């Protein structure tokens, strides 16, 4: 992915995430476009692009969400690392692979969030957290992945053929 297309895509993601989605979705169940694009980039792009999306998305999410600085960055880097090195050879261009990967990445991110919250002394009811926070977020991120699948694959710079 070229630098120009990354900047344009990142700017559009920022506008949609923080200017449009707050009016369309509840704050708890708002799609996380940065996470969606970052997970999908592990299926499509090279290592440099993947980690640029993870770092940029993590920093922007930390600064705009009001959470402690480094929290989203840590989660995004863990997910990017696991997905890039663990699932890189098992992808193809089907939309459902992108959807499943994003949903799995969302679940992993929410598990990490719950673990960090529990370590920090916050009481977390796991069934309630999964039912009311994680499951709806997985669904909306999965739908976002379906919508973004063709767009991200179309701006991919072709290199080695993938199966």
Q: Residue 70 has which token pair?
A: 């480094």
CA dist 49 and 134 (Å) reads: 27
Tokens 């009001």 locate to 66
8-state DSSP, 17: I
**pLDDT for the residue numbered 26:** 73
**CB contact at 8 A, 43 and 101:** yes
> What is the average pLDDT value for the chain, to the nearest integer?
83
More confident residue, 28 or 98: 98
**pLDDT for the residue numbered 161:** 44
More confident residue, 148 or 163: 148
Interaxial angle between packed helices 33-44 and 95-119, expressed in degrees from 0 to 180 and rounded to the nearest 10: 120
The residues near 44 (Cβ < 8 Å, ≥ 6 apart) are 152, 153, 156
Report, as an integer, the average pLDDT of 149-153.
Answer: 86
CA dist 70 and 143 (Å) reads: 27
Convert the pLDDT of each residue in 79-128 to its tens digit. 999 988 876 655 567 889 889 999 999 999 998 888 888 888 888 887 88
Q: Is pLDDT at 48 greater than 60 in this prediction? A: yes
Residue 161 phi, psi dihedral angles, 5° rounding: -65, 140
**pLDDT for the residue numbered 138:** 94
Helix, strand, coil abundance in the chain, percent, nearest 5: 80, 0, 20
Q: Is pLDDT at 157 greater than 80 in this prediction? A: no
Q: Is pLDDT at 3 greater than 80 in this prediction? A: no
**pLDDT for the residue numbered 160:** 47
Convert the pLDDT of each residue in 134-146 to its tens digit. 899 999 999 999 9
């Amino acid at each position: 992915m070229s630098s120009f297309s990354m900047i344009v895509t990142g700017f559009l993601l920022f506008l949609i995430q923080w200017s449009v989605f707050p009016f369309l979705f509840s704050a708890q169940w708002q799609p996380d476009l940065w996470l969606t694009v970052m997970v999908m980039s592990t299926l499509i792009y090279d290592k440099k692009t993947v980690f640029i999306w993870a770092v940029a998305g993590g920093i922007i999410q930390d600064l705009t969400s009001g959470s402690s600085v480094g929290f989203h960055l840590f989660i995004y880097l863990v997910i990017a690392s696991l997905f890039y090195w663990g699932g890189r050879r098992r992808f193809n261009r089907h939309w459902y692979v992108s959807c499943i990967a994003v949903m799995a990445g969302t679940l992993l991110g929410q598990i990490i969030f719950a673990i960090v919250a529990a370590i920090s002394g916050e009481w977390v009811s796991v069934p309630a957290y999964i039912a009311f926070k994680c499951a709806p977020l997985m669904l909306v991120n999965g739908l976002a992945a379906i919508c973004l699948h063709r767009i991200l694959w179309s701006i991919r710079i072709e290199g080695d053929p993938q199966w």
